[in-house]
Amino acid sequence: MATAHPAEKSPSKPTNFRVGALVLDVDTNTILATGYTLELEGNIHAEQCCFMKLAKEHNVAEDQLGPLLPKNSVLYTTMEPCNKRLSGNLPCTERILNLKGVIKTVYVSVLEPEKFVRQNEGRKKLEDVGIKVELVGGLEDRILAVATAGHEQKGEV
């Protein structure tokens, strides 16, 4: 029996994308944290969930987490990290930047569709400071189907 991808655990709602993420220590191949959209209380994105869990584990505020994480950490996320939050929460791109270079590479399956925020510039912001953003292809249709479950589809009344 196949287990659900973390993004599939996220509630289907017309107001958010269902995204899954994980932080990995590359040197030891250890998953440090996993998360999915709305896993934690509030309007919490998958990447934010990972960082909040790690901050709680280390008993620090999220913005103090960087020095405590392995120096060769990467982030895997099903969708490009956001650069703007309509809710007013700190964007996931800013959260990554606040880790002060601990995250060296962000692997994404799909770029953020322009449904809620036009022209996500998060990728450019990360790359401008030397963080690689690698687009991993092959599952785009599946990822987008999961991410947009609960959204009104074209042609629906």
Is 47:79 a contact under the CB 8 Å cutoff? Answer: no
State yes or no: is 47 an active-site residue. yes
Cα angle 72, 100, 36; round to 5: 70
- In 26-67 the beta strands, taken as DSSP E runs, fall at 30-36
Interatomic CA distance for residues 22 and 107, integer angstroms: 10
Give the active site residue among 39, 47, 62, 80: 47
Is 106:142 a contact under the CB 8 Å cutoff? Answer: no
**Residues whose CB falls within 8 Å of the CB of residue 79, separated by 6 or more in sequence, listed in order:** 17, 19, 108, 109, 110, 111, 112, 143, 147
Tokens standing for residue 29: 């191949």
* Catalytically annotated residues: 47
